[in-house]
Structure 1
């Protein structure tokens, strides 16, 4: 039997495009001082958020964001068919414990920093396939929990490399529906794992950029579209150096990419905030998409958007064993309703 909704090698074209019913985002204090501060629903005063540990703070942020998205959609937990969510903390505990509290049928995801877009792609497939009416998608990260797990505990005061990025403290959530008014998700391109042998955990942009470029080019091949067909294209969290590498890797096949291409890790901070290469983390693309980008679409400034959630598929275990850092990128196309 032919996969009638699949076009090309890796792309799904939705017959009944899911609608973004509502979106919500909560950001940390550093993010709240950046250029996108007005697009967040809430900005925290400190990264502990009244909890005893950073991990508990992240779970509280995550849960409040999911609940806020439901409130904005005027829906209750019982209305949601599935919750798709993930984070960076060991065994995605922020998402797991949020799912425990919300008691929604739960599919836990780990795509590293690509998790938000992985969830949007899968949630859209569930709705377009007739398996769900409403799906709640979310992702979170926290600067201190990620630093402790993947690099060095902040208490050590280790000097950061200039290629390093600042993990975003924040969470984003989207309610997808089978009908209604709003931005529609029309296509999803599922990425391949790509590894160019990069092994520096302080240069995630270089590790993820080849996968982002691969997914972008495959999306254009599968759909017959070009960069010029989108008002804005954004990768998840490559930062300024990873963004430059994507342009280099695609310049022969997508020469117009740089004219309308940015990165969520570039957008969320400015130079004065000393984040070096920019932002990263599951929360980076989540808060930028759920806040700034959807605001731009809803205000009519963007009619067609292509986002590529990017992830570095490493773990403390793989680093200790001398492995390189594979990358992944999942693309989702959105269009004004």
Structure 2
């Protein structure tokens, strides 16, 4: 069987199973719309650690261990962990992996990392290389703000177009066999850069990449949007979500009936998140908490998760470069 479909997509021959997930959130996330779907909510953004970065490592380690409980043999028999975060050199992930002691593949897809980890983990299982893997991603609001924008202690006023980086982490335990939703297909995205230079306006920067991947996915697999109960993008927020709908309509495709952005689902309007949620954990906690629960309850049977990521750095921003973006799509079906 030729597993490649069209230009950028693949269909798994032996569809791996997501046998369990775990999601952790900070106090703001615990007051949001998805609070009941978190497996653990921290009381503050440090959780007893002496830095935000160490707290992020704790979160990633926690969800990995929690999700691994669904694998035969637990963490000790996990063949590999695929994970990443937003910090320089994946430091939150690296320190978490030091504690886990399992084979590890570090991933940097910015906020597309959760989808990327699931896609590549499924490839390793479908290819017969591994039997059990973990796909994980994390972000921390204060750590990300310190790296990409300003120290939170400065109290810099945020423009209305900004989004709030989610403090949280998600992990999916993926196996060659078992009970749970199947990872059936995926589309690898291309880097798309439309010249946006404002790191406080990430939705418009990433929306074209999401549209490029979504449209290619539908073309490659000869599907209409209504093949899926829901299509989710990762963290475009309210502005980016509106742009995706408009740009898809320009291509002759209406997704307004069954499309949502994870960044619009996490916080209440009165939480002052401005344009919505962002960060690796935006799609990670939404999928590993809310969406996975909906699949298990059979309130959803087919979903497409499109992880969206902004690939700029503090250095590229200071050098006045525009913002390259990426989006990867993974199809999950009961």
- Bin of the TM-score, shorter chain as denominator length: over 0.9
1:74 and 1:59 map into 2 onto residues whose CA distance is 25
Please list, as runs of the form range in 1=range in 2, the aligned pairs for 1:300-311 lying within 5 A after superposition. 300-311=298-309
- Segments of 5+ residues of structure 2 without an aligned counterpart are none
Q: How far off its partner does 1:254 sit?
A: 4.9
2:142 and 2:213 map into 1 onto residues whose CA distance is 30
1:250 and 1:77 map into 2 onto residues whose CA distance is 42
2:140 and 2:73 map into 1 onto residues whose CA distance is 27
Among 180, 194, 210, which residue is 1:212 paired with?
210
What's the counterpart of residue 153 of structure 1? 151
Output the TM-score relative to the length of structure 1. 0.98
What's the counterpart of residue 132 of structure 1? 130
Please list, as runs of the form range in 1=range in 2, the aligned pairs for 1:174-253 lying within 5 A after superposition. 174-253=172-251
Please list, as runs of the form range in 1=range in 2, the aligned pairs for 1:55-204 lying within 5 A after superposition. 55-73=53-71, 75-204=73-202
2:76 and 2:142 map into 1 onto residues whose CA distance is 33
2:197 and 2:243 map into 1 onto residues whose CA distance is 16
1:254 and 1:230 map into 2 onto residues whose CA distance is 18
Whether the 8 Å contact between 2:245 and 2:254 is mirrored in structure 1 is no
What's the counterpart of residue 24 of structure 1? 22
1:259 and 1:173 map into 2 onto residues whose CA distance is 29
Is 1:4 paired with 2:7? no
The RMSD of aligned alpha carbons is 1.0
Q: Report Cα offsets for 1:166-223 as digits up to 9, x if no partner.
A: 0000000011000111100000100000000000000011111000000000000000
Q: How far off its partner does 1:76 sit?
A: 2.4
- Segments of 5+ residues of structure 1 without an aligned counterpart are none
1:138 and 1:185 map into 2 onto residues whose CA distance is 15
2:168 and 2:22 map into 1 onto residues whose CA distance is 11
Output the TM-score relative to the length of structure 2. 0.98
1:99 and 1:47 map into 2 onto residues whose CA distance is 21
3-state SS in 2 of match to 1:259: coil
Whether the 8 Å contact between 1:21 and 1:177 is mirrored in structure 2 is yes
Please list, as runs of the form range in 1=range in 2, the aligned pairs for 1:48-59 lying within 5 A after superposition. 48-59=46-57
Structure 1: which 4+ aligned runs deviate by more than 2 Å?
72-78, 252-256
2:157 and 2:50 map into 1 onto residues whose CA distance is 26
Whether the 8 Å contact between 2:165 and 2:279 is mirrored in structure 1 is yes
Q: How far off its partner does 1:74 sit?
A: 5.1
Please list, as runs of the form range in 1=range in 2, the aligned pairs for 1:307-322 lying within 5 A after superposition. 307-322=305-320
1:157 and 1:308 map into 2 onto residues whose CA distance is 32
Q: Report Cα offsets for 1:222-256 as digits up to 9, x if no partner.
A: 00001111100000000000001111111133533
Whether the 8 Å contact between 2:302 and 2:332 is mirrored in structure 1 is yes
What's the counterpart of residue 288 of structure 1? 286
3-state SS in 2 of match to 1:233: strand
